[in-house]
């Protein structure tokens, strides 16, 4: 269910510059403009000095500070113009809107869900997912709220996963068939694939996933326990 072939914005490098050079140039222009206006004492020189001062101030308006594992999405009059991933003091066109976005790894602890397994028995299951934004343009422009999107799609993936496997072994299963209870590694890998397929549209990548809770639902837990003990 990957949407990677659909049309839409993809992250590109933005045209930005070293902010320290912009500071020097902006201060020089602002100071030069003031000096020019004072020296001219009216007339064209004063106007030119004022324009130089304004240009220097506008130039300084394009500065922003960026931390490690942060990005700035730059848009100009509604058009995406690229993403800056460089850290430190940066400069970009002052007319551009600059949206800050964290690229750090994030944790999602999914709520405990009640789902029917492959046999139709109700089970409780939950998982923890570690994810991060891989493509900033898709995360911002392809979905309305990528954090909420990740949460909803994680729950959908967990529900779908639980329905694919039986909770535990039994005579009705094929020999060696993976179960939720015994096939932890295979189940986790299946969960990761499911999550990545669902997250692709939002430009998000899965770093890790773990099943954090797995049990029969309370209404059948005692019945299944007695059945296991009898076997």
Per-residue pLDDT of the chain (231 residues; tens, 9 = 90+): 444 445 678 999 999 999 999 999 999 998 988 888 778 776 777 888 889 989 999 999 999 999 999 999 999 999 999 999 999 999 999 999 999 999 999 999 999 999 998 888 899 999 999 999 999 999 999 999 999 999 999 999 999 999 998 887 766 667 778 888 887 889 999 999 999 999 999 999 999 999 999 998 887 766 666 565 555
Strands (DSSP E) found in 33-176: 63-66, 70-76, 79-84, 88-91, 97-102, 106-109, 113-116, 122-133
Q: How many CB atoms lie within 10 A of CB 230?
A: 6
User: How many angstroms separate the CA atoms of 122 and 144, rounded?
Assistant: 33
Crossing angle, helix 146-164 and helix 184-199, to 10 degrees? 140
Instruction: Let me know if 50 is exposed, middle or buried by CB neighbors in 10 A (0-12, 13-18, 19+).
Output: middle
Q: Please give the structure tokens belonging to residue 218.
A: 């309370």
Provide the 10 A C-beta neighbour count for residue 79.
Answer: 9
Q: Which pTM was predicted? A: 0.82
């Amino acid at each position: 269910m990957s949407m990677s072939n659909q049309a839409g914005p993809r992250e590109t490098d933005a045209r930005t510059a070293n902010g320290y050079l912009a500071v020097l140039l902006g201060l020089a222009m602002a100071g030069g403009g003031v000096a020019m206006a004072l020296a001219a004492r009216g007339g064209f020189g004063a106007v030119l000095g004022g324009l130089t001062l304004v240009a220097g101030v506008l130039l300084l308006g394009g500065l922003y500070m960026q931390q490690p594992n942060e990005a700035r999405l730059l848009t100009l009059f509604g058009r995406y113009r690229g993403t800056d991933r460089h850290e430190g003091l940066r400069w970009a066109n002052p007319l551009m809107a600059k949206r800050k976005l964290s690229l750090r790894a994030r944790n999602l602890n999914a709520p405990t869900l009640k789902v029917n397994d492959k046999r139709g028995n109700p089970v409780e299951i939950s998982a923890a997912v570690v994810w991060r934004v891989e493509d900033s343009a898709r995360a911002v422009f392809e979905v309305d709220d990528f954090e909420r999107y990740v949460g909803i799609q994680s729950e959908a993936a967990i529900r779908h996963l639980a329905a694919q496997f039986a909770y535990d072994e039994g005579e009705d299963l094929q020999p060696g068939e993976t179960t939720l209870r015994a096939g932890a590694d295979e189940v986790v890998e299946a969960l990761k694939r499911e999550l990545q397929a669902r997250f692709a549209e939002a430009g998000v990548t899965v770093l890790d996933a773990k099943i954090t809770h797995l049990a029969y639902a309370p209404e059948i837990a005692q019945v299944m326990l007695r059945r296991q003990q009898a076997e």
